[in-house]
Amino acid sequence: MELVSRNRCFGGEQAVYKHASEACGVDMTFAVFLPPQAKSRSVPALWYLSGLTCTHDNAMTKGGFQQFAAEYGVALIFPDTSPRGEAVPDNDSYDLGVGAGFYLNATQDPWRSHFQMYDYVVCELRSLVQDAFPISERHGITGHSMGGHGALTIAMRNPGLFASLSAFSPIVNPCQSDWGRKQFSAYLGDDESTWAQYDATVLMSETGWHGDILIDQGADDQFIDLLRPQAFAEATALRRQPCVLRTHVGYDHSYFFVSTFAKDHMCWHADRLNGN
């Protein structure tokens, strides 16, 4: 790994690294916050998956998670949202290509050579941070918008890897949304049966989750019709899945919303990761 930057932060350390990724075939950048407790022992980790157009930097600088991660003794992992570089295919649209990896493994050209974000997050980056940093095997996962979609689907497909789960304004039913159908047809092809493994509402109906889930949604979110929170709420009710789904009047889709409820999510994960 190449160290890109390192900053003192709430008694801990916020660092950014670059490494050559076998999964994505290019150099990838990610950020890690280590709380002060990591100086003397291994600590649990919370993964934060970002949304469309974002990089590792957005939540790292605007989410406001480090203060509470330091208080609760939890590391933070901020992956990028897609591969990047001259060799990586792209699209003129903001919601396809670079910055819009959707945390899946693409099977169609020209995307499949680099857009393997599911394997990157679940296998490659997890193994790398587990080996390189004082992080225990207790991991939680959260995310915003496209990243909330990634957090929910990755956790439900890998229940043994994650002990806690939450999301901010997640895309929960992409198979029935323009934030999903467009990208899935490009990345995965026209066979819609292959899409279901990346749809949180479908996965909830079929497999559910071994624990409880926290989801926060802004009532004034300008993209709420694309997110389809009602579909996921119906699926959790039918499955009798423990899920706290809170809707907040006046809040939109921005990082002002995310940072407002960052402490709630950090506390939620810390309770479950620390065994409280």
Contact present, 90 and 98 (Cβ < 8 Å): yes
Q: Give the pLDDT confidence score for residue 108 in this predicted structure.
A: 98
Its pTM surpasses 0.85: yes
Q: Give the pLDDT confidence score for residue 275 in this predicted structure.
A: 77
Amino acid at 151: A
Q: Give the pLDDT confidence score for residue 58 in this predicted structure.
A: 97
Q: Give the pLDDT confidence score for residue 197 in this predicted structure.
A: 97
The rounded average pLDDT for each run of 10 residues, N- to C-terminus, in the chain (276 residues) is 97 98 98 98 98 97 98 98 96 96 98 98 97 97 98 97 98 97 97 97 96 98 97 97 97 98 98 86
Q: Give the pLDDT confidence score for residue 175 in this predicted structure.
A: 97
Contact present, 4 and 39 (Cβ < 8 Å): no
The structural domains of the chain, ordered by start, are: 2-273 (3.40.50.1820)
What is the spatial distance between Cα 61 and Cα 57, in angstroms, rounded to a whole number? 6
Q: Give the pLDDT confidence score for residue 276 in this predicted structure.
A: 55
Residue 120 DSSP symbol: I
CA 30 to chain centre: 13
Amino acid at 77: I
Residue 254 DSSP symbol: S
Q: What SS3 class is residue 90?
A: coil
Contacts of 39 (CB under 8 A, 6+ apart): none
| Residues with catalytic function | 145, 221, 253
- CA within 13 Å, CB half, 135: 23
Neighbours of 35 (CB within 10 A): 23
What is the spatial distance between Cα 126 and Cα 106, in angstroms, rounded to a whole number? 20
Neighbours of 255 (CB within 10 A): 19
